[in-house]
Amino acid sequence: MASYSTHKDDVLKRLRRVEGQVRGLQRMVEQDTYCIDILTQVSATTRALQAFALQLLDEHIACCVRDAMAEGGEEAAAKLKEANDAIARLVRS
């Protein structure tokens, strides 16, 4: 079970909206839309992806990381390192 498994439908709905944004970008290109307007939409799409990632990370820490920390030991350290690496990738991308 992943931390989002109880509300998969919401998560999928969010991703389908991002997919819709990317398809919207393709339509803009097909219609020779002005570059700057496309760039504005790319920024909106990037922010939507970031918001998705932040929610997923949020739930992951509240759920998987918490459980591992409750048990302690090597598993806890490994889960923490994994979460920190994911945060670093998000901050840097």
Point out which residues bind a second copy (CB under 8 A). 1-5, 8, 11-12, 15-16, 18-19, 22-23, 25-26, 29-30, 32-36, 38-40, 42-43, 45-47, 49-50, 52-54, 56-62, 64-66, 69-70, 76, 80, 82-84, 86-93
**CA 71 centroid distance within chain:** 27
In the complex, the smallest distance separating the C-beta of residue 66 from a second copy, rounded to whole angstroms, is 5
Q: Are 50 and 90 in contact (CB under 8 A)?
A: yes
Retrieve residue 12's tokens: 């999928």
Q: How far is the CB of 45 from a second copy (least distance, A)?
A: 6
Provide long-range contacts, Cβ within 8 A and 24+ apart, for 64-73: 64/3
Q: What are phi and psi of 72, to 5 degrees?
A: 75, -170
* Smallest distance, a second copy to C-beta of residue 71, A: 11
